[in-house]
């Protein structure tokens, strides 16, 4: 058990609203105010990042909340420089809380003379003085092995399961969970088993990066409410085409549950104009005003889960208890 009276949270500029929500949840659980540590994280005129921590953090258990989302390089550098500032200020332990871990899609060499950038980023994070990482829905589970420090990878599927049970409670027998590609089958199967429904797969063939040539549905979706589940939605091209393919196979309606709403470029417009009834994302990435205004995009909060995980790490208790939707039900009480 730590001698500190409470964990200390600090945030970069990537997702301040989530960091504040986490600090509120930690305060509620602790029965005392656990605000974000006062610091400035800003740019010099030449865009170099500068960090100054205004509070004493000597001997403290520090948690840096910072998604490495767009602009990925700026947010990653903020994380590394904040970690260095805390290390040099004699913090006893530094945990990087990365709700979204950028560069995760570069996790292997798909062809010759290409980098494995996810491994490089893992090396940089460990070298900056971060002792452990807390993240959610890594693009590939093996990325945990890229780190030589402990990595706790939380899952959005228990939170999604709660949401689906609430939103579709009268027609769960008519719900089919769909993986938008063969690589995401394990994620989709896991969610399907949580809510006790059928599973289908959309098999896609790519001609070149960013373009999908053809899609085939494996499984019977006729008359079903289809829920596409995936970890990342970037330009939404694949997602919208998968929804059209499912409707073409006789699906009654299509919804999507995606952990990380990257939503680059034309994504929001594509989703708004698509045949999909709704897209549900988490707030792992700070949603833009365009995303907030979109009628068929809904955001579920991750602060209750991250706050509990931070308290469990600080207390030295199990984080894997949060993989269970029954355990999360108590944490999310009042949200649904």
Q: Assess whether 135 and 48 both reside in one domain.
A: yes
Q: What is the pLDDT of residues 133-171, one digit of tens each?
A: 999 999 998 999 999 999 999 999 999 999 999 999 888
Residue 30 domain-assigned (yes or no): yes
Which pair of tokens denotes residue 83? 């970690």
Residue 86 domain-assigned (yes or no): yes
Q: What is the pLDDT of residues 73-89, one digit of tens each?
A: 999 999 999 999 999 99
Q: Assess whether 106 and 187 both reside in one domain.
A: no
Q: Assess whether 176 and 126 both reside in one domain.
A: no
Residue 1 domain-assigned (yes or no): no
pLDDT at 210: 58
Q: Assess whether 293 and 179 both reside in one domain.
A: yes
At 182, is the pLDDT very low, low, confident or very high (cuts 50, 70, 90)? confident
Using DSSP's 3-state secondary structure scheme, residue 207 falls into: strand
User: What is the percentage of the chain residues whose pLDDT exceeds 70?
Assistant: 96
Q: Assess whether 110 and 172 both reside in one domain.
A: no
- For 283-287, what is the mean pLDDT? 97
The answer to whether the CB of 59 falls within 8 A of the CB of 76 is no
Binding residues for D-ribose 5-phosphate: 206, 230, 234-238
DSSP state of 46: T
Q: Assess whether 47 and 143 both reside in one domain.
A: yes
The answer to whether the CB of 21 falls within 8 A of the CB of 301 is yes
Residue 3 domain-assigned (yes or no): no
Binding residues for ATP: 46-48, 105-106
Which pair of tokens denotes residue 82? 């904040």
Q: Assess whether 170 and 39 both reside in one domain.
A: no
Any idea what the CATH number is for the domain that residue 183 is in? 3.40.50.2020
Using DSSP's 3-state secondary structure scheme, residue 133 falls into: strand
At 327, is the pLDDT very low, low, confident or very high (cuts 50, 70, 90)? confident
User: What is the percentage of the chain residues whose pLDDT exceeds 90?
Assistant: 86
pLDDT higher than threshold 70 for residue 206: no
Q: Assess whether 129 and 170 both reside in one domain.
A: no
Residue 277's domain comprises: 157-300
Number of domains in the chain: 2
Residue 2 domain-assigned (yes or no): no
Peptide bond between residue 71 and the one before it cis (omega within 30 degrees of 0):
yes
Residue spans of alpha helices (H) in 128-265 = 157-167, 185-195, 237-248
- Known catalytic residue at 204: yes
* Catalytic option among 169, 204, 241, 292: 204
- For 218-223, what is the mean pLDDT? 94
Count other Cβ atoms within 10 Å, centred on residue 96.
27
Q: Assess whether 318 and 193 both reside in one domain.
A: no
DSSP state of 3: S
Residue 63 domain-assigned (yes or no): yes
Q: Assess whether 20 and 151 both reside in one domain.
A: yes
Q: What is the pLDDT of residues 239-277, one digit of tens each?
A: 999 999 999 999 999 999 999 999 999 999 999 999 999
Binding residues: 46-48, 105-106, 139, 181, 206, 230, 234-238
Residue 21 domain-assigned (yes or no): yes
Binding residues for Mg(2+): 139, 181
Tally DSSP H helices, then E strands, for the chain.
10, 14
- For 17-33, what is the mean pLDDT? 94
Average pLDDT, the chain: 93
Residue 313 domain-assigned (yes or no): yes
Q: Assess whether 147 and 207 both reside in one domain.
A: no
Q: Assess whether 94 and 133 both reside in one domain.
A: yes
């Amino acid at each position: 058990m730590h001698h500190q009276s409470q964990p200390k949270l600090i945030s970069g500029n990537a997702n301040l609203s989530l960091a504040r929500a986490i600090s509120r949840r930690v305060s509620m659980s602790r029965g005392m105010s656990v605000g974000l540590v006062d610091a400035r994280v800003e740019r010099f005129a030449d865009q170099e990042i500068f960090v100054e921590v205004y509070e004493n953090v000597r001997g403290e258990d520090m948690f840096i909340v910072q998604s490495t989302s767009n602009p990925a390089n700026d947010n990653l550098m903020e994380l590394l420089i904040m970690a260095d500032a805390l290390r040099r200020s004699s913090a006893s332990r530094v945990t990087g809380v990365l709700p979204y871990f950028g560069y995760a899609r570069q996790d292997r060499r798909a062809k010759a003379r290409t980098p494995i950038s996810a491994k490089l980023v893992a090396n940089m994070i460990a070298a900056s003085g971060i002792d452990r990482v807390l993240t959610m829905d890594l693009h590939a589970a093996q990325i945990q092995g890229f780190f030589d420090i402990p990595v706790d990878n939380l899952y959005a599927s228990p939170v999604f399961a709660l949401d689906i049970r609430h939103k579709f409670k009268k027609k769960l027998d008519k719900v089919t969970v769909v993986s938008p590609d063969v690589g995401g089958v394990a994620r989709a199967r896991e969610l399907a088993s949580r809510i006790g429904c059928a599973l289908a797969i959309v098999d896609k063939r790519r001609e070149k990066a960013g373009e999908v040539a053809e899609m085939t549905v494996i499984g019977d979706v006729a008359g079903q409410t289809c829920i596409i589940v995936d970890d990342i939605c970037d330009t939404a091209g694949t997602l919208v085409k998968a929804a059209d393919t499912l409707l073409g196979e006789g699906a009654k309606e299509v919804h999507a549950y995606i952990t990380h709403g990257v939503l680059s470029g034309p994504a929001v417009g594509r989703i708004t104009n698509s045949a999909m009834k709704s897209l549900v994302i988490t707030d792992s990435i700070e949603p833009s005003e365009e995303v907030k205004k979109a009628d068929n995009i809904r955001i579920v909060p991750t602060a209750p889960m991250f706050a509990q995980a931070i308290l469990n790490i600080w207390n030295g208790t199990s984080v894997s208890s949060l993989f269970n939707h029954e355990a999360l039900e108590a944490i999310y009480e009042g949200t649904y």
